[in-house]
Structure 1
Amino acid sequence: MIQIAVFSDVHGNLPALEVVLKDIEQRGIHQKFCLGDLVDFAPWGNEVIERIKSLNIPCLLGNHDERIAFDLPVFPLSKHSEEETAARFIAIDHSKKYITEENKKFLSELPFHLKLNYKTGKTHWNIQLVHSSLESNDTYLYESENDEVFMDILEDSNADMVIMGHTHLSFTKQFENKKWAVNCGSVGRSKEKNRLASYLVLTLDEEKIIPEIVQLNYPLEETARQIEESGIPDYYASFLRNENILIL
């Protein structure tokens, strides 16, 4: 039996990341992977990057990482309210100013996606890791998507399972051919009602793959207070507290 942990979308939330890393350690899991979006929306962008670096955790290039690494322009999204649009511009600008050049360089060198192969007994399991899809790190694929969307990714990558993040909404879907599509949710900016830090534990044996979404409490109020004391808009503190903000 092999166990691996996959997490995504930390978004500068160091307290949430530390809780997830501690849980992974307590479970005795040594294989860890991150699907990207280390920065934006909470004050510890540099600290999160440095924690990932210090542990040598393989990490993908999320859309927010790419924007900060290469100073890409920010465009409004039609799904966002005026309030969120204004807050988003300020929060991303905050990251562009405060993420160090060394850490921007680290982000710029992250791989776009990653293919894993694990052997258990006589079985080889192929696992495709993406931030959001094979072609883009900014495509929103929800559990409600037609199965064919995920089946195309599995076929194109010749994988038994595709694991993604980006939407901040976790799910596990198994198809008739026994293959899987999984979203591991978000460590630091969950859009689920409980706002817990979410990650994936994957158990592999010779016969099957078992995905388990783990959701953990963390010092959310501490994160919210630190956001309010930083140059990041208070919108993101209210978001974490789930204070009647429309989630899109």
Structure 2
Amino acid sequence: MIQIAVFSDVHGNLPALEVVLKDIEKRGIRQRFCLGDLVDFAPWGNEVIEKIRSLNIPCLMGNHDERVAFDIPVVPLSKHSVEETNARFIAIDHSKKNITEENKKFLSELPFHLKLNYKVGKKHWDIQLVHSSLSNNDTYLYESEKDEIFTTMLKNSQSDVIVMGHTHLSFKKQFENKTWAINCGSVGRSKEENRLASYVVFTLDEEKITPEIIQIPYPIDETVRQIKDSGIPDYYASFLKNENVLIL
């Protein structure tokens, strides 16, 4: 039996990341992977990057990592309210100004996606890691999508499991051929009503892969306080407290 942990979308929320890493450690899981979006919306962008670097956790390039690393302009999204659009511009600009050049270089060198192969007994399992999809790190794929979208991704990647983040909404979908599409949710900026830090544990044996989505509390009030004391808009503090903020 082999266990691996996959998490995503920390978004500068160091208290949430530390709780998730501690939970993974308590479970005795040594194989850890991150699907990206280390920065934006909470004030510990540098600390989160340095934590990932110091622990040598393989990490993908999320769309926010790419935007900060290469100073890509922020484009308003039609799904966002005027309030969120304004807050988003300010928050991302805060990251661009505060992430160190060394950490921007680290973000710029992250891989776009990663394919894992584990051998358990006589069985090889292929696990495809992406931020949002095989071809793009800014595609929103939800549980409600047609199965064909995910099964095509599985076929194209020749994998048994495809794991994604990006939407901040976790789900598990299994298909007739026993393959899986999994969204591990978000560590630091969950859009689920409970706002818990979310990640996924895979247990691999010779016969099957078993995914378990783990959701755990973290000191959210500390993150909220630090956001309010930073140059990041209070919008993101209210978001984490689920205080009358529209979720899109």
TM-score by length of 1: 1.00
1:36 aligns with 2:17: no
SS in 2 for 1:94: helix
1:131-170 per-residue CA deviation (whole Å, 9 max, x = no partner) reads: 0000000000000000000011000000000000000000
Question: Equivalent residues in 2 for 1:80-91 (5 A)?
Answer: 80-91=80-91
Given residue 95 of structure 1, which amino acid in structure 2 is its aligned partner? Answer: S
SS in 2 for 1:140: coil
Question: Equivalent residues in 2 for 1:1-40 (5 A)?
Answer: 1-40=1-40
Structure-2 separation of matches of 1:210 and 1:112: 25
SS in 2 for 1:211: strand
The alignment covers a number of residue pairs equal to 248
Question: Equivalent residues in 2 for 1:85-164 (5 A)?
Answer: 85-164=85-164
1:206-235 per-residue CA deviation (whole Å, 9 max, x = no partner) reads: 000000000010000110010000000000
SS in 2 for 1:118: strand
Structure-1 separation of matches of 2:123 and 2:175: 19
Given residue 124 of structure 2, which amino acid in structure 1 is its aligned partner? Answer: H
The CA RMSD measured in Å over matched residues stands at: 0.3
SS in 1 for 2:125: strand
Question: Equivalent residues in 2 for 1:218-229 (5 A)?
Answer: 218-229=218-229
Match of 1:71 in 2: 71
Question: Equivalent residues in 2 for 1:204-219 (5 A)?
Answer: 204-219=204-219
SS in 1 for 2:20: helix
1:15-71 per-residue CA deviation (whole Å, 9 max, x = no partner) reads: 000000000000000000000000000000000000000000000000000000000
Match of 2:180 in 1: 180
Given residue 149 of structure 2, which amino acid in structure 1 is its aligned partner? Answer: V
Compute the displacement of 1:6 (Å).
Answer: 0.1
Match of 2:198 in 1: 198
1:190-220 per-residue CA deviation (whole Å, 9 max, x = no partner) reads: 0000000000000000000000000010000
Structure-2 separation of matches of 1:245 and 1:144: 23
Structure-2 separation of matches of 1:73 and 1:147: 34
Structure-2 separation of matches of 1:136 and 1:58: 19
Structure-2 separation of matches of 1:152 and 1:112: 19
Match of 1:62 in 2: 62
Structure-1 separation of matches of 2:245 and 2:175: 34
| Structure 2: gaps (5+ residues) | none
Compute the displacement of 1:244 (Å).
Answer: 1.2
Structure-1 separation of matches of 2:228 and 2:246: 20
* Percent identity over paired residues: 81
1:237 aligns with 2:231: no
| Structure 1: gaps (5+ residues) | none
Compute the displacement of 1:98 (Å).
Answer: 0.1
Compute the displacement of 1:86 (Å).
Answer: 0.1
TM-score by length of 2: 1.00
Structure-2 separation of matches of 1:86 and 1:246: 14
